[in-house]
Amino acid sequence: MGNAMSARVSRQDPWYVRWTLTSAALIVLILLVVVPVAAVFIQALADGIATYWNNLFNDGDTRHSILLTLAVAPTSVALNLIFGLAAAWAISRFRFTGRTALLTLIDTPFSISPVVAGLLFVLIFGQLGYLGPWLRDQGIHILFSPPGLVIATTFVTLPFIARELIPVMEAIGPDEELAAVSLGASGWQMFWNVTVPNIRWGLLYGIILCNARAMGEFGAVSVVSGHISGQTDTMPLWVEKAFQEFNLPGAFAVASVLTLLAVATLLLKVSIERRARPQLAEAKQMSESAGAE
């Protein structure tokens, strides 16, 4: 016991070091994160609740930007959800050539600047783009209209759900699914009754992170949107427009909604982490002990 005590002391920093480092770290966090978040709400509510409400809901273009974001983001999340499930199933349950290359490919959107991402689709769908003239003849609008926003957002948020699901499914392992199939379950029965319940926390986690990024996406969407008020301005784009027009109360009102969303995302994330940790730890332990046998 004496040993344990001295060991602990040898890892313990003197009180003044602890005190200095802790205050320095907290000051950094407060200046970088807490003050800006507080400022968003204080500035938004600076002229009272009534003005705040007015800024948010009595302006047609603002209302439209909120609705547009609420339509575009879930569409992108849904597309990437289907992709994430398919990719995670293929990658975590089977071994095939090019598997590592596929993993790298899934990650590429993370390493591409959002502006470049937007540009990629301008080159395809724009007036001077590869498909532009043909699309114009068909009367199909993609660029400067909601489908373009969905495509750009989907590209930028593509890796989120797949990256969350692959390690979770690797950790859980295929045993229960193999059992279900050998007991005569069909593919979809196995998927809905075994796979989905097993990965539900990872799935939820991925959806939440993907949605947060989709609603907040700025660079890629800004390039493909055309900034048409009341038509192709999402919430973040509307914040920029209001800022440029010196309509700061309006900009901060919309920004406060986006900030609330970010805070809600964090709260959900923490609560999922708390619930999922035992489940994931168990899955990991099981796979480790199975590997040791």
Partner 1 sequence: MSSNTNRRVLPGFRLSLSFTLVYLAVLVVIPLVGCFVKAGSLTWSEFRHAVWTERTRSAYELSFGASLTAAAISVALGLLIAWVLVRYEFPLKRLFDSLVDLPFALPTAVAGLVYSSLYAPNGWLGRFLVPLGIHLAYSRPAIVLVMVFIGFPFVVRAVEPVLESIDAELEEAAAVLGANRWQTFRRVLLPSLLPPLVTGFALSFARALGEYGSVVFVSGNMPMQTEIAPVLIVARLEEFKYAEATAIAVVLLLASFTLLVMINWLEKRSRRWDY
Looking at residues 128 to 157 of the shown chain, list those that interact with partner 1 (rule: CB under 8 A). Answer: 128-130, 151, 154-155
User: Which of 49, 95, 139, 246 forms a contact with partner 1 (CB under 8 A)?
Assistant: 95
Which of 199, 255, 276, 283 touches partner 1 (CB under 8 A)? Answer: 255
Residue ranges in 161-180 that form contacts with partner 1 under rule CB under 8 A: 174, 177-178
Residue number, 37 or 70, with CB nearest to partner 1: 37
Q: Which of 72, 161, 252, 283 binds partner 1 (CB under 8 A)?
A: 252
Please report how close the Cβ of residue 115 comes to partner 1 at its closest, in angstroms.
4
Q: Is 49 in the site for partner 1 (CB under 8 A)?
A: no
CB of 23 to partner 1, least distance (A): 9
243 interacts with partner 1 by CB under 8 A: yes
Region 188-227 residues binding partner 1, contact defined as CB under 8 A: 190-191, 209, 212, 215-219, 222-223
Contact of 44 with 256, CB cutoff 8 Å = yes
* Interface residue with partner 1, options 45, 56, 120, 204 (CB under 8 A): 120
Residue from 94, 183, 289, 293 touching partner 1 (CB under 8 A): that is 94
Verify binding: residue 258, partner 1, rule CB under 8 A.
yes
* 71 touches partner 1 (CB under 8 A): no
Q: Which of 22, 63, 228, 288 binds partner 1 (CB under 8 A)?
A: 22
Helix (H), strand (E), coil (C) string for the chain: CHHHHHHHHHHCCCHHHHHHHHHHHHHHHHHHHHHHHHHHHHHHCCCHHHHHHHHHHCCHHHHHHHHHHHHHHHHHHHHHHHHHHHHHHHHHHCCCCCHHHHHHHHHHHHHCCHHHHHHHHHHHHCCCCCCHHHHHHHCCCCCCCHHHHHHHHHHHHCHHHHHHHHHHHHHHCCHHHHHHHHCCCCHHHHHHHHHHHHCHHHHHHHHHHHHHHHHHCCHHHHHHHCCCCCCCCCHHHHHHHHHHCCCHHHHHHHHHHHHHHHHHHHHHHHHHHHHHHHHHHHHHHHHHHHHHC
Establish if 181 lies at the interface with partner 1 (CB under 8 A).
yes
Structure tokens at 94: 């089977």
Q: Which stretch binds partner 1 (CB under 8 A): 10-18, 52-60, 142-150, 276-284?
A: 10-18
